[in-house]
Structure 1
């Protein structure tokens, strides 16, 4: 009986040790932002309009699980560059901002998804208490983060005008 207990305890310890030393699968892959899907919007060099809404349409994917995404729209009147796109857009002449538009929004993605197609309605106001927003060159950034914390960003050059 004593030898059965020793074998049982040794087996249990070996089993526990085996579970502790096995490498857990680690997510080492960043998520992906796909703008090649039909109807993807906005694209690099697209034009948006103040006082109007548009549907943000992109396909997000991850090998394990998606987490969240955010958008950041800010002026590019000085033609600074952090676009992730290969194609270059035509810029308007440089200018100083007077009342530039800015938007930063965060969005949660439903738990457990490896693919998610955005369908967010985004409204760009015409102005604020300081008057109409400045027309011109803007950057449209999307940052996608997976559950593990890996992130990727897509930087698009766009224009925003008043009609």
Structure 2
């Protein structure tokens, strides 16, 4: 009988300590997307070829940030003021890991706007600037604005 009581207490204790384990973070799974606050540039801001885009952003997550990607590509929709000369479309992509353990970080980048692409004058016009932010759990947030390379003709 004494062995039965001791065995029962051992089982109850094991179950109690197992259910109080914090290894699974109370069984919760991070499903919340991280947050992107783009301070600079502003939507439809114009940049001349040969100038720099000042990119300034704040990233945050409820648990832990993972990585980010900046991408710039043409937003051409067929309404471009192109001359008869051949021109090159600009594509920019940069991916970076965020220091482990951070829930908040600030980035400030200077991105050079080229004057030529593959030896051809850069296509002037509208471009999409996108930021992709992923947290450690794999949740992704995206933020896009449109910028103008060249003079903004407001149309």
Question: Normalising TM by the smaller chain, what interval?
Answer: 0.7 to 0.9
Structure 1 CA distance for aligned equivalents of residues 25 and 11 of structure 2? 18
Structure 2 CA distance for aligned equivalents of residues 117 and 95 of structure 1? 37
SS in 2 for 1:143: strand
Deviations 1:103-154 (A, max 9, x none): 1111111111111111122222221333221111111111111111111111
TM-score by length of 1: 0.76
CA RMSD of aligned residues (A): 2.6
Deviations 1:43-78 (A, max 9, x none): 111112322333310111111111111111111121
Q: Is 1:75 equivalent to 2:74 in the alignment? A: yes
Q: Is 1:116 equivalent to 2:105 in the alignment? A: yes
SS in 1 for 2:80: coil
Determine which structure has more spread, i.e. the larger CA radius of gyration.
2
> Where in structure 1 do 4 or more consecutive aligned residues deviate above 4 Å?
19-23
Unaligned runs of 5+ in 2: none
Aligned residues: 145
Q: In 2, are the aligned partners of 1:48 and 1:161 still within 8 Å (CA)? A: yes
